[in-house]
Amino acid sequence: MAFCQKRRIFLYQAICNFSITMKVKSKVWLEKEGELVFGVGKTRILETINTTGSINKAAKKMNMSYRRAWSCVVSIEKRIGRPLVIRTKGGKDGGGAILTDYAKDLLKKFTKLEAEVEAFTNKRYKNIFHTRVIASEAKQSSCRKIASSLRSSQ
C-alpha cells in the first residue's frame, strides 16, 4: 500500500476517533465579590433538601455530614442576603426544612442558565472544531467501513 494511501486512512480514522471521543465541558457558577455563591454542588444540596424535606436526610442522601450541608445553606444565604431554607426544629415529630419561593426560583433560573450555557458551548465547539458528534454505532461503523475500503483499494 502506498504511503499516501496509508496517510489518508490514518487521517480518516483520526477524524472519526476525534469526533467520537472528544467532548467539550463547561462549568457555571455564580460569584459575588469573588466569592462562590452558587454552583452545581450547592444546587444539588438545595434540590435534595427540597425532595427530602430535611437537611439531615439530604446530607445522608448525598453522603455528607449534616454540618457540611447546613454550612453550605448558611453560606449561600449569607452571600445572597436572603433566606433560602425554612427550618423547623426537631422534636417529637422530628424537624424539617422547606425551600423558600426565592430558593425555588433561584434553582429554576440556575438550571435554565446551565442548560443554555451547555447548549451554546456544544454548538460553538462543533462550529469551531468542525466536528460532529457521532452518537450511534451505525455511524461509528460507517467510519470503520470507509477506512477499511480505503485500505483495500490500493
What pLDDT shows up at residue 16? 57
pLDDT band at 148 (very low <50, low <70, confident <90, very high): low
Does residue 45 have a pLDDT over 50?
yes
Q: Where do the structural domains in the chain lie, given as residue ranges?
A: 23-130
4 grid coordinates: 499516501
The pLDDT value recorded for residue 61 is 95
CB 72 within 8 A of CB 42: yes
Q: Residue 81: what pLDDT?
A: 94
- Between residues 8 and 134, the one the model is more confident about: 8
Span 48-77, pLDDT tens digits: 999 999 999 999 999 999 999 999 999 999
Which amino acid, residue 76?
I
DSSP code, position 30: E
Query: What is the pTM assigned to this prediction?
Result: 0.67
Return the C-alpha cell found at 66: 449534616
What is the domain class of 23-130 according to CATH? mainly alpha
Q: Determine the Cα–Cα distance for residues 126 and 121; give it in Å rounded to an integer.
A: 9
Q: What is the pLDDT of residue 125?
A: 85
